[in-house]
Chain A
């Protein structure tokens, strides 16, 4: 492991050599997982730290398909890193394990350049994504992926664990779409399994477990309000939850958007929203993000993509 600490110039964070992502360089960290059939077992192991001159850098990185990292940049004191899925989506049997750490005082923004897709299961099995985020003291993590789009017949399991130290900050977005609506695929997936644990200083603050399947009542709460509802969820903690813009958030409910927000334990706040379509969800996301950053007294860092 090495710290990217030399030859830094404004806005550019030097990368490790191209073969840095070969996990064979990291004996014992990620044992080589064979590609069997058409399924992939990949990983992302990433650590962001604060360099002595106050610039956040990637201190450790290891990744393997179906995931890839694009070049990062620094904006507003935050390291912005895009995660690319070069296979364009998950197939059944694919497995991705992500381990992301933000060291003390560092600020990291993780994003994806395009929607995450899961394709129809051929075997009946699921694609699995296990992600663990750890944010240390006075550090900040923003996780803002593009929407999750489950295709017709898709089966997918996502397990997320977020561990925050007491002085850490967090902005965590989830956006689940009903499917490829333009193709007539509305809640046509087979099964989504969503799990999330959020801890603060070792204390469990939020726990989510649910299965979504069109064949039972699990989608009722989405369909009752909007027939093709998009679901947005936001967790904010630390500095991103102070000066909470409650009135401004209240005002976002309107035609096509039904939103609620409130406190969890430990000063963590949550936002839940249902949106009538993708455009409403996109507009809402593009409103909420600068709103929360603005309330925290920070300009939102550019994600280096068209949106946000």
Chain B
């Protein structure tokens, strides 16, 4: 490990950032920059950001770059927080010095597959362009990563999982971002019904689909109970608590149809069941004022006889379905939602009539 020196060209962009480009040997790049892949530390904190490598992709790149006439005009992008000093030598040119004596200070933001492919090739004189950006802190660096990569298909689940930690994203991400944060909290700090049960990029052993849970949050935040929390500063806490309490009630009422089940054997744990039950949560919240497990249990007990999560048939208006015919499609979710919500409403009306009589 050593100190690397390059001549670079600076580009005038945002005033608070240094952006410059230089040519370097891929092996050097991998010595002054690390590829930090996404994962979780032992206490559940998100770390890193890069996706995992795709072998076939690397193979394809390597096949091409091994040719004598191969060119790689597009730059790899490396972000720094520290460990780099630049000296202006005029005319937009810089002298760059990267101190990698202790640890590689840079992070590869884009081009990891290319670097990996090149590092396995015997082409010592082949250089790549390095486009470097200096960031204030790690969060800003992660923001750069998402912004740079959001034009190209990263796995959606990874993007969603990174969203809660990223600031300054385009508007279209904000409702997803809120939902992702709520789901992350439910998964890593929630009650027994949901903790560790949601499948995420960093929790592959979970079984409940994270996108279904996010959909539940987004539906409720757009038009349901969570929307009503909008005026509160602790909206997110309230959302986490409401969903947590609701699913504690679900686990209590539906017992073995929830606990330990996989979506394959229980439609209650399936994407369609999760999203549809979100509307039951909104209904019980608005009509019964339910916010706690005990508040949700009576309504769910009323609903229970009309469900067929693990066996039997769903009896809807004028049709019947075998329990596992429900698929994770918008029209099935819509159908199941309507059935669950109407059945609950009908039972609540019956109760009210009986109470008034």
The answer to whether A and B assemble together is no
B residues lining the A interface (CB < 8 Å):
none
A residues lining the B interface (CB < 8 Å):
none
